[in-house]
Amino acid sequence: MTGGTVTDVREALLRPRPLVRGPGLTPPELGPGPLLWAVRAPQDGPPLDVSVLDEGERRRAEALRRPAERALYVAAHTALRRVLGAYVGLPAASVPLTRLPCPGCGGPHGRPAVARPYDAGVHFSLAHTDGLALLGLAAGPVGVDVERVPGARLAADGARSLHPRERAELAGLPSAARPAAFARCWTRKEALVKATGDGLSGAVLRDRYVGTGARPAGQPGWTVVDVCVPAGWAAACVVPEALSARPAVPRARRTAPCASRGSRGRR
């Protein structure tokens, strides 16, 4: 984990810090603003180390057919457990994860969370896509999403499910600019429903306007901000307005051990 400040979520892009191998993890204070880390899978080296994953995570990893996808899943979930373990005071393999009740139906498929009694004051969100993962922690509900910018045809197909104003915005752009604008919009919606615990239903896609432009549209009670990721991806983070009143300023710390050697050198 590299040191530095987290950009004020009300003003600009958030810049995630890379997780790299290191001697140990002393976590920064979990301030009101979100803390973000980028994770990449190792490009080479020994076989995947799944020792800190639970049985369900190992089954999901094994079910992934593409080696690169499997490696990123293992790296991301290993990083999540190691970071959470540092905050709740448990070995990474012992961090109990659960699902909160769905705010709509009460079923056990809401936001992922640390299970009681270790859950006090630590909220997280994890997203991974083709080659890149994003991990967010905050003192309250947080949602993150990262996506590869799709091709023109996929972007056009996906745009049909968006809010009418968002569809109109995309239609008014040059064709070459539409995929990136669509990806910005989609990650904002994904991050929002992860923070709220709602599912990404057709109604959410159509009814919630987050915009496709350079700055996200406001959401009552929530702060939506784009995340700085390499070209070819889009990412977003959402936290309650109360948590974004001032930026979190973590002190410089040692690097965190995790399986993300490939993230070295990223911004």
What is the structure's pLDDT at 238? 92
167, 116, 133: which is closest to 41 by C-alpha? 133
For the stretch 110-157, pLDDT in tens is 788 999 888 878 899 999 998 899 999 988 899 999 999 999 999 999
Q: At what angle do helices 67-88 and 55-63 cross, to 10 degrees?
A: 160
Cα(128)–Cα(145) distance, integer angstroms? 8
pLDDT tens-digit map of 42-69: 777 667 889 999 999 999 999 999 999 9
Q: Look up tokens 């959402």; give the residue.
A: 238
Residues of the chain predicted below pLDDT 70: 1-33, 45-46, 103-104, 106-108, 199-202, 244-267
Look at residue 257 in the predicted model and tell me its pLDDT.
Answer: 32
**pTM for the model:** 0.81
Q: Any long-range contacts for 198-201 (C-beta under 8 Å, 24+ apart)?
A: 198/102, 198/103, 198/104, 199/102, 199/104, 199/109
